[in-house]
Amino acid sequence: MDTPGELGEFLRTRRARLRPEDVGLVSYGGRRRVPGLRREELALLAGVSAAYYARLEQGQSGNASETVLDAIARALRLSDDENAHLRNLARPGRAGRRPPERPECARPGTRQLIGAMDGVPAIVLDRRNDVLAWNPLGHALVAGHLDLTAPDRPAERPNLQRLLFLDPHTRELYPRWAEEAKRAVSSLRLVAGRYSDDRRLAELIGELLMKSEEFAALWQRHPIRNCVSGTKAFHHPLVGPMELAFETLHMPDDSGQRTLMYSAEPGSPSETGLRLLRTLVESRPAAAPAGAPTTAVRAGR
């Protein structure tokens, strides 16, 4: 990915959301050529020269000190997630090891763990949101129209970002689709900054930019948020509406793998819906062996 270009775009979007009066500067009226703060105004707030800040925003200064980055983050009023993203973009060489080219796999222990989760939908994802594994209830919740065994074949693995923006079945699953889309892009932006040398991640982003105008519009706004917990609304084709809490557990390494789990509030209609879905899953025939023909929509690469 073009990290210097991404850095400039990120800084410009954050300048654009601040007005001089928001940060204690005097605005003398008149029409401003750019929305939000000018470069000189941001440089003044951060205590750096306007020329230096301009070079940084243009990607011509790759050795910004921690002191300078701290000052810019404060001036732009960045959140913790945005602050981390700023550093990843400003120092792409420190973003992490170059990821291996071989297909990733979920750890055997992780597979065993999600398989033992009784009544809890669970999905193991890599940093690109490729599904590495899921338990039957996790599959039935988010992608029951796809082959249950698809994650076992790297070339056919579903990708949750691709499904969200390009698959009509998945769009119908989320009644608050716009909210889900913004959350997805916010997380993907953060990951893209951290793993700027991940070729397959860049290819996924490029594909979505070309095929989805909605993704492209959200991506251009440069939202940043590490969405590790919260609630999601579903309108499941088999059991109807549900409001489920989600939690994300990250692996204790630099792989970017994580396990996404869902639960319903005890005694709620959503818990009833989740129990019904579990009953339906348990009553269906066993999954076909890997490689068996399927009519499911292909959502992998």
Max intra-chain CA distance, the chain: 72
pLDDT score, position 295: 37
Domains and CATH numbers, the chain: 3-94 (1.10.260.40), 108-283 (3.30.450.180)
Separation of alpha carbons 116 and 110, rounded Å: 10
Separation of alpha carbons 294 and 285, rounded Å: 14
pLDDT score, position 299: 46
pLDDT score, position 24: 73
The residues, ordered by sequence, that sit 6+ positions from 204 with a Cβ below 8 Å of its Cβ are: 128, 159, 161, 162
**Sorting pLDDT into bands at 50, 70 and 90, what band is 3?**
low
pLDDT score, position 275: 97
pLDDT higher than threshold 60 for residue 1 = no
Tallying the residues shown for the chain, one arrives at 301
pLDDT higher than threshold 70 for residue 51 = yes
**SS3 label, residue 245:** strand
Separation of alpha carbons 19 and 112, rounded Å: 52
Separation of alpha carbons 150 and 129, rounded Å: 14
**SS3 label, residue 133:** strand
For the segment 65-109, what is each residue's pLDDT rounded down to a tens digit?
A: 888 899 999 989 999 889 888 888 887 654 445 545 677 899 999
pLDDT score, position 39: 87
Helix (H) or strand (E) holding 276: helix 269-283
For the segment 136-178, what is each residue's pLDDT rounded down to a tens digit?
A: 999 999 999 999 999 999 999 999 999 999 999 999 999 999 9
Structural contact between residues 117 and 261, judged by C-beta atoms closer than 8 angstroms: yes
Mean pLDDT for the stretch of residues 212-230: 93
Cα–Cα nearest to 79, from 224, 243, 257, 294? 224
pLDDT score, position 281: 95
Identify which has the larger pLDDT, 271 or 66. 271
Angle at 71 between CA 188 and CA 11, to 5 degrees: 40
